[in-house]
């Protein structure tokens, strides 16, 4: 097993077929197949299942993929630090942001990292939290913001804050138009749009409404933040999101926002990373930067609807 074979194997998994991987990796497909066959022979395991639809990893292949991604990232980090000679705080750091937080946090993180650590090259991935979690577990991200508050197998979590969810849109006669809050019970039967079932926010809404015995009427599954907000603004339906979801929208295009009370709906937010491999100096620097900015944005009032976790944890990063 060598680094070239690992790169080929990772490429096949990520591109979904030998033909496409061969094209992207600039290698002949027979040679690629030969290298994978040799890798499987050395390990004595079947790593890929081939079908007319492409290739998928076996359980052993999935395990190898996770570790291979980490090895490749470490090799890239080593090469970059040695070749650039800019010290430990250099190299690529891949960060995953949930869609609702990108608008308030991504640009400040970029600007501060760029100013403080010019040797660091940021790589952003914005998506739903479930996909971000999968990328982190597979070694494709160095850091990720996820909705959890404790460590899990292979993933370390630094709790940052709890965020309160808000109602966007007009629920009709159940809530006065000038009211700044909305009770959960007033949302019984109100048409809502929300992310689809695998999304953590959707699961939280379903659990909360069921626990409080309030009828949850989700009329459409929509995995698009702009569409959710546009529908809430239009009056076609309401949606439930954190306040950060509208941070970058022009005030004139923002739907009405009310804090949900009796009870509040809150979810924990943590900065996460893999604890199965060493964390680079560059990733540590970005991690500390994110922690600082969350603290500053909250204290300045720029980020509303969040309650910081213990200040000593935030200060230490």
Q: What is the pTM of this model?
A: 0.75
Question: What angle (nearest 5°) sits at the alpha carbon of residue 154, between those of residues 152 and 158?
Answer: 60
Q: Is the pLDDT of residue 86 over 80?
A: no
How many C-alpha atoms does 142 have within 13 Å on its Cβ side? 27
- 274 and 177 belong to one structural domain: yes
- 146 and 283 belong to one structural domain: yes
Q: Is the pLDDT of residue 204 over 60?
A: yes
- 166 and 300 belong to one structural domain: yes
Say if CB 159 and CB 149 are below 8 A apart: yes
The mean pLDDT of 252-265, rounded to a whole number, is: 93
Greater confidence (81 vs 124) lies with 124
Report if residue 10 sits inside a domain.
yes
Report if residue 82 sits inside a domain.
no
pLDDT tens digits for range 144-165: 999 998 888 889 999 999 999 9
Position of tokens 């976790």?
A: 309
State residue 313's pLDDT score.
Answer: 46
The mean pLDDT of 134-142, rounded to a whole number, is: 88
Report if residue 78 sits inside a domain.
no
Q: Is the pLDDT of residue 252 over 90?
A: no
- 205 and 58 belong to one structural domain: no
Say if CB 76 and CB 92 are below 8 A apart: yes
**Last residue of a domain, which of 70, 100, 115?**
70
Q: What is the C-alpha to C-alpha distance for residues 307 and 260, in angstroms, rounded to an integer?
A: 15
- 302 and 179 belong to one structural domain: yes
State residue 197's pLDDT score.
Answer: 86
- 310 and 187 belong to one structural domain: yes
Report if residue 239 sits inside a domain.
yes
Q: Is 300 helix (H, G, I), strand (E, B) or coil?
A: helix
The mean pLDDT of 107-111, rounded to a whole number, is: 96
Which of 54-58, 72-76, 177-181, 218-222 has the highest mean predicted lDDT (pLDDT)? 218-222
- 39 and 118 belong to one structural domain: no
Report if residue 77 sits inside a domain.
no
**Last residue of a domain, which of 18, 42, 70?**
70
- 110 and 60 belong to one structural domain: no
Greater confidence (137 vs 286) lies with 286
Q: What is the C-alpha to C-alpha distance for residues 129 and 97, in angstroms, rounded to an integer?
A: 8
Greater confidence (253 vs 190) lies with 190
Q: Which two tokens stand for residue 225?
A: 């933040």
- 61 and 114 belong to one structural domain: no
Q: Is the pLDDT of residue 314 over 60?
A: no
- 65 and 99 belong to one structural domain: no
- 148 and 234 belong to one structural domain: yes
Q: What is the C-alpha to C-alpha distance for residues 136 and 119, in angstroms, rounded to an integer?
A: 23
What percent of the chain has pLDDT above 70?
A: 94
Report if residue 81 sits inside a domain.
no
CATH at 39: 1.10.10.10
What percent of the chain has pLDDT above 90?
A: 55
Report if residue 16 sits inside a domain.
yes
Q: Which two tokens stand for residue 51?
A: 């079908």
Q: What is the C-alpha to C-alpha distance for residues 138 and 62, in angstroms, rounded to an integer?
A: 9
CATH at 206: 3.40.190.290
Question: What angle (nearest 5°) sits at the alpha carbon of residue 129, between those of residues 125 and 131?
Answer: 65
Q: Which two tokens stand for residue 50?
A: 């081939």
Q: How many domains does the chain have?
A: 2
Q: Phi, psi (5° rounding) for residue 79? A: -60, -45
Residue 81 confidence class, pLDDT cut points 50, 70, 90: low
**Last residue of a domain, which of 24, 41, 70?**
70
Average pLDDT, the chain: 89
Q: Is the pLDDT of residue 284 over 90?
A: yes
Q: Is the pLDDT of residue 14 over 70?
A: yes
pLDDT tens digits for range 62-76: 889 888 887 887 777
Q: Is the pLDDT of residue 170 over 60?
A: yes
| Domain hosting residue 8, numbered range | 3-70
Report if residue 83 sits inside a domain.
no
Of 199, 5, 75, 27, the residue nearest 13 (C-alpha): 5
pLDDT tens digits for range 35-53: 899 998 889 989 998 888 7
- 41 and 189 belong to one structural domain: no
């Amino acid at each position: 097993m060598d680094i070239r074979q690992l790169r080929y194997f990772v490429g096949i998994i990520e591109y979904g077929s030998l033909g496409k991987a061969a094209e992207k990796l600039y290698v002949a497909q027979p040679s690629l197949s030969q290298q994978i066959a040799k890798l499987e022979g050395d390990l004595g395991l079947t790593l890929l299942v081939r079908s007319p639809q492409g290739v998928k990893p076996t359980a052993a292949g999935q395990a190898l993929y996770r570790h291979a991604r980490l090895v490749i990232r470490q090799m890239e980090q080593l090469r970059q630090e040695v070749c650039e000679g800019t010290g430990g705080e250099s190299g690529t750091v891949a960060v995953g942001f949930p869609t609702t937080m990108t608008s308030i946090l991504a640009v400040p993180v970029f600007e501060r990292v760029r100013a403080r650590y010019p040797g660091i090259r940021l790589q952003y991935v914005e998506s739903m939290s479930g996909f971000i979690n999968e990328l982190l577990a597979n070694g494709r991200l160095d850091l990720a913001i996820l909705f959890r508050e404790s460590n899990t197998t292979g993933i370390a979590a630094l709790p940052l804050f709890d965020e309160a969810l808000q109602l966007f849109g007009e629920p009709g006669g159940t809530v006065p138009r000038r009211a700044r809050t909305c009770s959960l019970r007033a949302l019984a039967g109100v048409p809502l749009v929300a992310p689809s079932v695998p999304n953590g926010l959707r699961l939280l809404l379903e659990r909360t409404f069921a626990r409080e015995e309030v009828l949850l009427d989700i009329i459409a599954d929509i995995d698009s933040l702009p569409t959710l907000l546009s529908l809430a603004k239009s009056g076609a339906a309401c949606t439930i999101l954190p306040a950060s979801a509208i941070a970058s929208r022009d005030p004139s295009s923002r739907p009405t926002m009310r804090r949900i009370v009796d009870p509040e709906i809150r979810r924990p937010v943590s900065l996460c990373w893999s604890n199965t491999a060493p964390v680079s100096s560059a990733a540590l620097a970005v991690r500390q930067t994110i922690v600082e900015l969350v603290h500053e944005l909250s204290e300045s009032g720029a980020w509303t609807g969040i309650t910081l976790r213990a200040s000593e944890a935030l200060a230490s990063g």
